[in-house]
Amino acid sequence: MTHQEISHYRLVSQKLYETSLNSPEEIVQHLGAMQAQDYAMAKWAIGSRCDATEAAIEELINSAKIIRTHILRPTWHFVSAEDIYWMLELSAPQVKRFTASAARKYGYDPKKLDQTNTEIEKMLSGNNHLTRDEIMQELNIKKTSSDDFLSAAIMMNAELDGLVCNGKMKGKQITYSLLEERVSKPKTKLSKEEALAKLALRYFESHGPATLLDFSWWSGFPPTTCKLVINAIELQLGSAEIESQIYWFKKDIAYETNFRESVHFLPAFDEILISYKTREASILLENQPKTFTNNGIFKPIILKNSKVIGTWKRIIKKDHAKIETHFFNETDVSKKKILFEGIKAFEHYLETKVIIE
């Protein structure tokens, strides 16, 4: 297996190579967790892997088939309702270290956070969905500056404690609701070892070929922990060694030598890049600063034959959407005809005409 093949096989494992017949919630469950701090782009991350429209995906989020919460790492993710409890129980302790540290700066120790959770539970009880600002108003917490992180720390803590998750949208505003009113708790629990094994298997089957350090980055668990869990499940995975690096993937991977030409317009923070510690298999080193920043801001990308060839942005108009493209190489500008094939799925998803500039 070569680096070029790695990027192609990742397209397949991430359900990008062919339009999947899976439902949006099945796509999310397949990938385990999908980074989702950019809400509009994250919905397209799901839509680019199946045949659903934005409106259909929005409805699944509103109806709690797909949950948006902080999990694995201290940022938003989409996760399947079926996976929310075991994944939250597994990853919450490590993520809470970040929120606890932030909350302490504002005088909120664990006891005060627990008291705040009790107040939040009362105000959201009975399927009452409130925005963060509405909750802070009820708590009598006023924002002191633009970089005030207290409200975010309070709500992240409530999410990580399994108290709240996303509620129904209020217009364009995100709301919070009680998790147990949205998703019933399972009757059985996984041990930490069972949950880690399930998470690792899910990752390598849906993101592979990938390395131990890739899984460590994505899951938020240290390499020592990840090494132990890979040792426990390695017989359930396939592997290949490239330049002294072991890549793990789904055991029954279908080996191909002739991948058809493909073009994808993928969102900012898409799993095809964000879920790997190193990204050279999909994007040249010299193009990485044009695609993502050192502090973790990722642009929407244009992928051709599994390689990033440029970036794009969308501008929503009254009766159409406009796509502005930026190519890394002038030679790729001449390939715009090919791009029209890649944009058809986006037109279907938005249910409006798309124009490329």
| Burial bucket for residue 59 (CB in 10 Å: 0-12, 13-18, 19+) | middle
Structure tokens at 167: 């509620």
Q: Is the pLDDT of residue 137 over 90?
A: yes
Cβ atoms of 80 and 25 within 8 Å: the answer is yes
Give me the phi and psi of 98, to 5 degrees please: -70, -45
Q: Each residue of 54-107: pLDDT tens digit?
A: 999 999 999 999 999 999 999 999 999 999 999 999 999 999 999 999 999 999
Ranges 3-17, 49-63, 216-230: which has the least confidence: 3-17
Helix count (H) and strand count (E) of the chain?
Answer: 15, 13
Q: In which residue are the tokens 């509009």 written?
A: 40
**C-alpha to C-alpha distance for 350 and 357, rounded to whole angstroms:** 18
325 Cα distance to chain centroid: 23
The phi-psi region of residue 298 (left if phi > 0; otherwise alpha if psi is between -120 and 50; otherwise beta) is beta
Residue 253's pLDDT band (cuts 50, 70, 90): confident
Structure tokens at 288: 């990485």
Largest interatomic CA distance in the chain: 62
Render 240-269 in DSSP notation, one character per residue: EEETTEEEEEETT----S-PPP-EEEE-TT
Cβ atoms of 131 and 177 within 8 Å: the answer is no
Bridge partner residues of 248 (DSSP): 210, 239
CA triple 163-167-170, angle to 5 deg: 145
Q: In which residue are the tokens 């803590």 written?
A: 157
Give me the phi and psi of 349, to 5 degrees please: -65, -45
**pLDDT reported for residue 342:** 74
**pLDDT reported for residue 337:** 65
Instruction: Spell out the residues 6+ positions from residue 183 whose beta carbon is closer than 8 angstroms to its own.
Output: 64, 67, 81, 84, 85, 165
Q: Is the pLDDT of residue 144 over 90?
A: no
Render 138-154 in DSSP notation, one character per residue: HTT----STT--HHHHH
| 241 membership: H or E segment, kind and range | strand 237-242
Check the CA dihedral 49-51-54-58 and report its sign. negative
Residue among 114, 109, 150 at smallest CA distance from 132: 150
Q: Each residue of 275-308: pLDDT tens digit?
A: 999 999 999 999 999 999 888 899 999 998 899 9
Q: Is the pLDDT of residue 162 over 70?
A: yes
**C-alpha to C-alpha distance for 46 and 78, rounded to whole angstroms:** 9
**pLDDT reported for residue 340:** 73
| 325 membership: H or E segment, kind and range | strand 320-327
